[in-house]
Amino acid sequence: MALVLSTVIVAVLMVGARRIIQGNDAAFTSVFQGGVRFNNYVGVSVVAGLFGAQGVALAAVANAAIVPTVNILCVLVFARYGTGGRMSAGKVARQLALNPLVLACFGGILLQALGLGLPAGIEPVIKALGRASLPLGLLCVGAALELGSLRSWVRPVAYSSVVKFMIMPLTTLCACHLFGLDGKAAIAALLFQALPTASSSYIMARQLGGDAPLMAGIIASQTLLAALALPIAVIVLIPWI
């Protein structure tokens, strides 16, 4: 609840501040994704490194809570602001029903609830694909970068990064207090909400009518900024848990 509530609050704030965020509607979708999406590959590695097996469990809960949430929110924003025009209710429902990240989360939750594991032989293949997904995603983003547009990225990158590395963690801290969340769980929540945006944001921008080159610039910039911004955000906020 702390993760979902903080994500929804920040999403609503960003939509409400649409006029302040300069740029066209397609650019806003990229700024929005930069503010709410997160790179869970980095998050799982960091939390597992800090807390071991318990960190992996906390990361699983975080993914189950906010992956569907952010994907639903992003599809709704694209339905309103994407360059493909406003989506019909049927198209929005179809995008949500076929979103691979949402399907993966609900599939994993279902397997866990039923006490079923993956079929023998499949797990090593999935693990290998999982390890390759982050570098492959970043390679795609790198190939899409248009350095000639660097100056026009400064303001959108700044907006999305302030939301991602400052407003989102602060909102999450307030939500943790609201729900009485503390200890390692609260630290994991703060870590996940202060992660750089996901490389999969670029794919969604390409598919649903966003500003894909700007999205690539936001992903690259936040990935670099996170080396400093992520530990600073967590170190500053942990004493307040």
On the question of pLDDT at 149 being above 70, the answer is: no
Q: What angle separates helix 183-193 from helix 2-16, to the nearest 10 degrees?
A: 30
Report the residue count for the chain. Answer: 241
Give the pLDDT confidence score for residue 85 in this predicted structure: 67
Per-residue pLDDT averaged across 223-241, rounded? 90
On the question of pLDDT at 42 being above 80, the answer is: yes
All residues at 6 or more sequence positions from 22 whose CB lies less than 8 Å from its CB, including other chains: 155
The helix (H) or strand (E) run that includes residue 102 is: helix 100-114
Query: 161 with 229: CB under 8 angstroms?
Result: yes
Query: 128 with 196: CB under 8 angstroms?
Result: no
Q: What is the DSSP letter of 147?
A: G
On the question of pLDDT at 120 being above 90, the answer is: no
**What φ, ψ does residue 23 adopt, rounded to 5°?**
120, 170
On the question of pLDDT at 110 being above 70, the answer is: yes
- Residue 149: how many CB atoms within 10 A of its CB? 13
Structure tokens at 5: 């509530």
